Every structure is written in structure tokens, then in C-alpha cells.
């Protein structure tokens, strides 16, 4: 197939946690023998912010890390007929503009032969439904939702006739253990502070335990307010700033443990959807302790990580992981096995190919289609 993928950003991962998976499944489509072309706007907010923060060097790494993928920047003059010429599969990520989404949908509705899918990897369906409601998905053949609960929302609200559960996964070509790197930190956390939607959780499950246990700890990410930076400094935690996604494995390898602190909307309204950091951490072989979230779809077996209910439990769990080498080793082994057997970008690319084949083999219908869950 010729696969044409429209992303908000491929070369930039600034405030763009989706970059890991979007890049990874594109890599695996190519490895499966498909042609892959990625379009990204040259004035996308992730790219412009990366440039502003001096991230040109990180973006320049990407073509060499993903050889064979045709990456094309575009502006308002984009010739959509040319971009879609010969396409068999077109995927439009939900951070694209409503205008572009509508234009591509009209091409499909007016008889274009490609299969057209909309890919949603965010909580806006529940936190800002008015934003997604403005998208015209009538011409789309289906929606790829990164969790079963999100798939059900699309069907319930009538935003799509077909929706498939398509979880994120780990790009193990980049995310894997690096045992040669010295562990200089007790704990590392990679994530963006954001707009205060999880400030309380970060203080309870990350900053507080690090300070009370006097851990050597580092955090990486963007959108940290001056108050957040003050809090981190007072806790004795180092803030390393923006960490390009493909550099994350080195940060994980340099620490003895990490934590998962999901945003409130995911925990309350989208149960069963972990952040990409769970896939990354387990793939990199670092023990993970998670703040509360519901693994409603049983993505991970018991023992892949430790789950805690409050800050006090987090403190005890981190102490146990740091002091008990057998416990940490068992967690790493279970986590790595789970990723490699169930949650790689290759698994997701193969699942995607099957989804497309199923759509092509069935007549277009207004009836909801069965869910296709994560590969087991």
C-alpha cells in the first residue's frame, strides 16, 4: 500500500507525546513493505516551539532515524490532489486543522479510492467535545481510537459509523534497555507540567516522595510554570527541560525507577488508556510505579509495574523498588516480556493492516462495527 499520513508534527515532539507512536508505526508500516509519506505543516505549533527552544538539532535527527519515510512539510498552498495521488491508505491525526480534515474527507466522499481513517489520541472527546464536534468525518471510513472507552464515545455520539480500538505501542527499535549507561539518578520522570490539570497529582506522587526520600531525581518536560519550577527546586529535584522523545531511552537508562502520573481526564473519564510513558518505560527496562489509573482493558499483567493509591504508598513502593533488587528485576522482566509480546509498534502496524483489509472487504454501512482491540 501507499500510506499517506497527515500529522500535526512528525519531526518535532515538543509538547507532543504522540510523536513516539506516530513515528513508530510509520517505521513499521515501511518495514512491512508499504510506502510511507508523512505530511506535517511547516508552521505547526510543536515545530515552531521546538525551533524557539533551540531544538533544531533534535529535529534534524529524525530523517536519519527513520530512513525511507518520505517527510514533507506543507503550507497553505498544499496541492491535495498531488498529496493524495496513488494513495491506498490515508490517516489523518486529530491535531490537524478542521479545514484540512474536511478537505480530505470530501475527496473520499467524492469517490477517491483510498481508505480514510481518523486517528484520535487525546481526551478532547470528553474534556472539550465541542472541539471534536466541529470535525467533518462524514467521508471517513472509520476512526482509530486509542482506547475502547473512546471508541464507544465516537459511536454513541454519532461522530463515526466505524470505530476501532487501536492502542499506542512502543517503538522498540529506539526504546529498549541500554545497560551500558551508568545509573546516576534514583528516579526520573518525563512529562509536561501543562496547565495545572495534574499539579496536585504531580506534587503527591512525584515531587513529595522524591523530597521525603531524598532521592536523586530528575524531571524533563515543557510548560513548567515558575511556581512549578520553584516547587521542583525546593524539593531538590533537577529539571532538565525539554527532552526530545528519541533521547528518552538514555534518561530512563540513567535512573533506577520511574513513575506514571496520568492526567485527570484520562483517569476519570477515559479509563483503560495509559500514557505513552508506560509503554516507553517498560520497553526500556526500568521499574515503574504508577499513580492510580484503571487498566480496564487488561493491557498489562500483574507484576509489570506497581500500582499505588496515594503519596504515602508511592513513597513505600519507590523505597521497595530501590532497595529490593529481586523485586526490581522481576518487574523489568515482566514489563519487557509484555511489551515485546503484545505492545510494539509492529503489533499495531499489523493490526492496522488487518483493519484496512476488513474495511475493504466489507461494504460501507451505517451500522457500528465490532471493536478490534490491542493485539494479545
Assign domain 187-342 to its CATH superfamily: Glycogen Phosphorylase B; (3.40.50.2000)
Our measurement of the distance from residue 8's CA atom to the centroid of its chain's CA atoms, rounded to an integer in Å, reads: 13
| Cα gap 312→315, rounded to integer Å | 5
| Residues near 306 by beta carbon (within 8 Å), at least 6 away in sequence | 287, 288, 289, 290, 317, 320, 321, 331
- Give the C-alpha separation, 139 to 82, whole Å: 19
HEC string for 317-374: HHHHHHHCHHHHHHHHHHHHHHHHHHCEHHHHHHHHHHHHHHHHHCCCCCCCCCCCCC
The answer to whether residues 27 and 69 touch, using CB atoms and an 8 Å cutoff, is: yes
Q: At what angle do helices 19-31 and 276-284 cross, to 10 degrees?
A: 60
Cα 167 to chain center, whole Å? 9
For every one of its 376 residues, what pLDDT tens digit does the chain have, with 9 covering 90 and above? 999 999 999 999 999 999 999 999 999 999 999 999 999 999 999 999 999 988 788 899 999 999 999 999 999 999 999 999 999 999 999 999 999 999 999 999 999 999 999 999 987 877 777 877 788 999 999 999 999 999 999 999 888 889 999 999 999 999 999 999 999 999 999 998 877 778 899 999 999 999 999 999 999 999 999 999 999 999 999 999 999 999 999 999 999 999 999 887 778 888 899 989 999 999 999 999 999 999 999 999 999 999 999 999 999 999 999 999 999 999 999 999 999 999 999 999 999 999 999 999 985 444 444 444 443 3
Residues 354, 316: Cα–Cα separation, whole Å: 44
pLDDT on residue 366: 40
The CA distance from 49 to 28, in Å, is 28
Pairwise CA distance, residues 85 & 88, whole Å: 9
pLDDT confidence of residue 368 = 42
pLDDT of residue 374: 41
Q: Measure CA of the first residue to CA of the last residue in the chain; give whole Å.
A: 25
Instruction: Give the model confidence (pLDDT) of 2-58 as tens digits.
Output: 999 999 999 999 999 999 999 999 999 999 999 999 999 999 999 999 999 887 888
Q: How far apart are CA 220 and CA 268, in angstroms?
A: 25
Whole-number Cα distances in Å, 305 to 138, 184, 260, 264, 317: 41, 21, 10, 20, 10
Is residue 154 within 8 Å of 143, Cβ to Cβ?
yes
Residue 47: half-sphere exposure toward Cβ, Cα within 13 Å:
16
In terms of C-beta density within 10 A (0-12 exposed, 13-18 middle, 19 or more buried), how is residue 126 classed?
middle
Which residues are paired to 217 by β-bridges?
Answer: 187
Query: How is the chain split into domains, by residue range?
Result: 2-169+344-361, 187-342
Write down the architecture of domain 2-169+344-361 according to CATH: 3-Layer(aba) Sandwich (3.40)
Cα angle 17-150-104, degrees, rounded to a multiple of 5: 75
| 2-169+344-361 and 187-342 in the same fold | yes
Whole-number Å distance between alpha carbons of 12 and 247: 13
pLDDT value at residue 124? 80
pLDDT at position 367 is 44
pLDDT of res. 122: 85
Amino acid at each position: 500500500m501507499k500510506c499517506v499520513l497527515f500529522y500535526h508534527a512528525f519531526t518535532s515532539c515538543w509538547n507532543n507525546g504522540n510523536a513516539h507512536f506516530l513515528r513508530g508505526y510509520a517505521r513499521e508500516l515501511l518495514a512491512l513493505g508499504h510506502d510511507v509519506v508523512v505530511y506535517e505543516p511547516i508552521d505547526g505549533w510543536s515545530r515552531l516551539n521546538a525551533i524557539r527552544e533551540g531544538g533544531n538539532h533534535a529535529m534534524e535527527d529524525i530523517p536519519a532515524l527513520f530512513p525511507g519515510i518520505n517527510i514533507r512539510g506543507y503550507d497553505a498552498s498544499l496541492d491535495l490532489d498531488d498529496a493524495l495521488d496513488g494513495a491506498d491508505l490515508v490517516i489523518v491525526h486529530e491535531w490537524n486543522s478542521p479545514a484540512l480534515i474536511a478537505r480530505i474527507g470530501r475527496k473520499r466522499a467524492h469517490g477517491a479510492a483510498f481508505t480514510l481513517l481518523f486517528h484520535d489520541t487525546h481526551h478532547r472527546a470528553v474534556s472539550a467535545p465541542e472541539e471534536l464536534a466541529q470535525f467533518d468525518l462524514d467521508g471517513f471510513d472509520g476512526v482509530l481510537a486509542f482506547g475502547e472507552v473512546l471508541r464507544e464515545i465516537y459511536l454513541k455520539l454519532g461522530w463515526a459509523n466505524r470505530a476501532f480500538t487501536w492502542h499506542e505501542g512502543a517503538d522498540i527499535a529506539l526504546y529498549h534497555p541500554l545497560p551500558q549507561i551508568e545509573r546516576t539518578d534514583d528516579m526520573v520522570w518525563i512529562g509536561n507540567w501543562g496547565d495545572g490539570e495534574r499539579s496536585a497529582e504531580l506534587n503527591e506522587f512525584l515531587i513529595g516522595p522524591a523530597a521525603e526520600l531524598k532521592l536523586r531525581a530528575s524531571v524533563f518536560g515543557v510548560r513548567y510554570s515558575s511556581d512549578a519550577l520553584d516547587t521542583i527546586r525546593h524539593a531538590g529535584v533537577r529539571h532538565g527541560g525539554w527532552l526530545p522523545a528519541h533521547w528518552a531511552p538514555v534518561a530512563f537508562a540513567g535512573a533506577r525507577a520511574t513513575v506514571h502520573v496520568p492526567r485527570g481526564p484520562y483517569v476519570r473519564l477515559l479509563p483503560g488508556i495509559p500514557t505513552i510513558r508506560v509503554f516507553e518505560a517498560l520497553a526500556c527496562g526500568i521499574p515503574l510505579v504508577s499513580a492510580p489509573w484503571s487498566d480496564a482493558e487488561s493491557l498489562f499483567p500483574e507484576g509489570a509495574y506497581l500500582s499505588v493509591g496515594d503519596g504515602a504508598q508511592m513513597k513505600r513502593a519507590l523505597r521497595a523498588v530501590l532497595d529490593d533488587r529481586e523485586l526490581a528485576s522481576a518487574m523489568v522482566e515482566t514489563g519487557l516480556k509484555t511489551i515485546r509480546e503484545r505492545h510494539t509498534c509492529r503489533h499495531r502496524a499489523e493490526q492496522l493492516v488487518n483493519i484496512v483489509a476488513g474495511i475493504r472487504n466489507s461494504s460501507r454501512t451505517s451500522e457500528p462495527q465490532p471493536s478490534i482491540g490491542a493485539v494479545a
